[in-house]
Amino acid sequence: MTILRGKSLRSVKNQVIEGDAVVTSEPITLLGFVDPRSGKVVERGHELQDVEIKDKIFVFPKGVGSTVGPYVLINLKKEGNAPLAVINRESDQGTISGCSMAGIPLVYKLDLDPITSIKTGDRLRITINEGTTEIEVVE
């Protein structure tokens, strides 16, 4: 059983989130590359092109690109197409602010690299307690 430990947004406390992972080794540009109406990655040529992130635990290295990206996360939530949680290798201001404003749990700065430790389809249990966050790969 693999367990990863890391940080989470301070606004998210005492939660357990369980769901299937969608993992990419490529950074994500949210604006224009993730469709809030469908909850799918629409970036042509991206390894997750046409993959739905709705109700998944979305694992990607970090967000890149436009400062308007946080609004994509807010609109995903508003449209009912948001991921259950986001896991990043590195934190970036766009993903942090977007997850914070949309109320999407964000985990980052893990002791193991989430991109190589988690695979698409893995069942994850994220336990967020004050000061500690653990991700358990349960399947």
- How many C-alpha atoms does 88 have within 13 Å on its Cβ side? 20
Per DSSP, 13 falls in state: -
Q: Choose the catalytic residue: 38, 66, 91, 100.
A: 66
Residue 117 is a catalytic residue: no
For residue 37, the SS3 value is coil
Q: CB under 8 Å to 94, separation ≥6 — which residues?
A: 30, 63, 65, 66, 67, 69, 70
- Find residue 15's DSSP bridge partners: 128
Q: Determine contact, residues 112/84, Cβ cutoff 8 Å.
A: no
- Which residues are known to be catalytic? 66
